[in-house]
């Protein structure tokens, strides 16, 4: 086979000769981010490559560090509440729930049943919104543009409910220490029910687009595999852990709010790859709808706010309380010295801990898979850097 005259590309003949220059590879260090659309914020990853193969990664984080834990020490308990919304800003309601419940435990008060039901409804709506945003952007990273329009269209309906309930769409500050500040608005139940009826077939639509789509399957199956054992060793929680075969969800393991009163399942998968994590999250969206429709049918009557002192001064002591945020275990370790300001608030951020697994998941894979794996980790840099 001789070389066609119009090309510079080497022919088979050229390559089978002694000259191997075309096949030699060098190790290459490639910088990805912090301004890169697929890093979902300001994550910087330095990749060590051998051709297309990833030999190692290093994450450089902190670009969005605002010192949230330091700020907490200089605010009263109630004043710090809106700050937690700014960590995982796509799931602000979950952040607020964890913080409010932790302070309530320190104060030894309990939110009234009505508040706990409203909290469950809003938190699950937020989980849906967070998973929708994840699905849209993750699919966009891999090259499918349609799911983004579908999921953002439907996420808008969640944000409308939030806006009507508390006036804000993203950083909602929906809960207060001791319950909820706002009563549900006129027609809240009706609108939530209508939303459930609207979005249930939409999830089938997402699945029609992706689940058996050949490009999607090729790009996600067997990519970024991590075993359940490694997940536990790395402290990885949330859908990532469940997609690796560990059936663990804080809503079931250590129920908080009113979760023990609802009937739902923990979806799990066995392979721990990007495809399985997608399947787990989609199944979780369906379970969230199941919880919402049970809760909205049975919101108890009564007060929505517990009787709490005007000045919140928890007794000396400490508490660790965690909730199942859309990303994984979100924990608050709060130490009180008996004053109006917390002595220390430590946030155990799921995104930060999960991001540590990136190196393990992409080693030996292709550069393009790094994008898929960052997407599947579902990190929010506001929470990684705090």
Partner 1 sequence: MVARLKQHYGQAIREASSYLGQNYLIVDRSEGLNLLQELRDREQFDYLVDVTALHYPQREQQFEVVWILYSFPRNERIRVKALISENENAPSVTTLWSAANWLEREVFDMFGILFEGHPDMRRILLPEGWKGHPLRKDYGIIQQDQEWVQANLGIESGQ
List interacting residues with partner 1 (CB under 8 A): 61-62, 65, 67, 69-71, 73-74, 105-106, 108, 230, 232-235, 246, 248, 253-254, 317-320, 322, 329, 331, 333, 335, 343-344, 346, 348, 352-353, 356, 385-386
Q: How far apart are CA 324 and CA 252, in angstroms?
A: 9
Task: Please report the DSSP string for 82-126 in residue order.
Answer: HHHTTTSTTSHHHHHHHHHHHHHHHHT----HHHHHHHHHHHHHH
Closest to partner 1 by CB, 37 or 317: 317
Minimum separation from the CB atom of position 330 to partner 1 (A): 11
Minimum separation from the CB atom of position 289 to partner 1 (A): 27
Closest to partner 1 by CB, 164 or 346: 346
- Closest to 40 (Cα-Cα) out of 310, 381, 363: 381
Closest to partner 1 by CB, 100 or 292: 100
Minimum separation from the CB atom of position 47 to partner 1 (A): 18
Closest to partner 1 by CB, 79 or 232: 232
Q: Where are the alpha helices (DSSP H) in the chain?
A: 12-16, 68-72, 77-84, 92-107, 113-142, 146-166, 188-210, 214-220, 228-234, 239-243, 250-253, 274-297, 350-355, 358-362, 367-377, 381-385
Closest to partner 1 by CB, 276 or 329: 329
Q: How far apart are CA 244 and CA 361, in angstroms?
A: 12
Minimum separation from the CB atom of position 42 to partner 1 (A): 12
Minimum separation from the CB atom of position 208 to partner 1 (A): 36
Supply 382's token pair.
């506001």
Minimum separation from the CB atom of position 324 to partner 1 (A): 13
Q: How far apart are CA 167 and CA 186, in angstroms?
A: 14
Closest to partner 1 by CB, 166 or 246: 246
Task: Please report the DSSP string for 25-45 in residue order.
Answer: --EEEEEE-SS-GGGSSS-EE
Minimum separation from the CB atom of position 310 to partner 1 (A): 23
- How many CB atoms are located within 10 Å of the residue 274 CB? 26
- Closest to 132 (Cα-Cα) out of 40, 215, 199, 230: 199
Residue with tokens 């969005």: 64
Closest to partner 1 by CB, 67 or 143: 67
């Amino acid at each position: 086979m001789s070389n066609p005259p119009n090309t510079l590309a080497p022919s088979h003949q050229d390559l089978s000769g002694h000259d191997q220059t075309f096949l030699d590879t060098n190790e290459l260090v490639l910088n990805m981010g912090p301004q890169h659309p697929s890093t979902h914020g300001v994550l910087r990853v330095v990749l060590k490559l051998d051709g297309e193969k990833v030999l190692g990664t290093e994450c450089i984080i902190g670009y969005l560090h605002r010192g949230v834990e330091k700020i907490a020490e200089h605010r009263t308990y109630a004043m710090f509440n809106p700050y937690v919304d700014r960590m995982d800003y796509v799931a602000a309601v979950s952040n607020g729930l964890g913080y409010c419940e932790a302070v309530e435990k320190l104060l030894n008060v309990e939110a009234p049943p009505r508040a706990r039901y409203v909290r469950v409804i809003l938190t699950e709506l937020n989980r849906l919104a967070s998973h929708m945003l994840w699905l849209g952007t993750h699919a966009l990273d891999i090259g499918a543009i349609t799911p983004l329009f579908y999921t953002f269209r439907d996420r808008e309906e969640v944000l409308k409910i939030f806006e009507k309930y508390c006036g804000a769409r993203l950083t909602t500050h929906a809960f207060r220490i001791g319950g909820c500040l706002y009563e549900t608005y006129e027609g809240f139940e009706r609108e939530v029910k209508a939303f459930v009826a609207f979005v249930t077939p939409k999830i089938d639509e997402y699945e029609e687009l992706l689940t058996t789509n050949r490009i999607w399957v090729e790009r996600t199956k067997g990519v970024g595999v991590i075993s359940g054992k490694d997940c536990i060793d790395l402290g990885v929680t949330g859908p990532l852990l469940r997609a690796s075969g560990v059936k663990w969800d804080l809503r079931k393991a250590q129920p908080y709010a009113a979760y023990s009163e609802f009937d739902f399942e923990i979806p799990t998968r066995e392979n721990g790859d990007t495809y399985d994590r997608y399947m787990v999250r989609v199944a979780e969206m369906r379970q969230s709808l199941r919880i919402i429709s049970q809760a909205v049918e049975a919101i108890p009557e009564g007060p929505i706010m517990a009787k709490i002192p005007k000045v919140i001064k928890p007794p000396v002591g400490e508490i660790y309380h965690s909730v199942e945020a859309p990303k994984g275990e979100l924990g608050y370790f709060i130490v009180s010295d008996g004053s109006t300001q917390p002595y220390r608030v430590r946030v155990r951020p799921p995104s930060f801990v999960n991001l540590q697994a990136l190196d393990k998941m992409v080693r030996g894979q292709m550069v393009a898979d790094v994008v898929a794996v960052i997407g599947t980790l579902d990190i929010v840099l506001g929470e990684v850097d705090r």
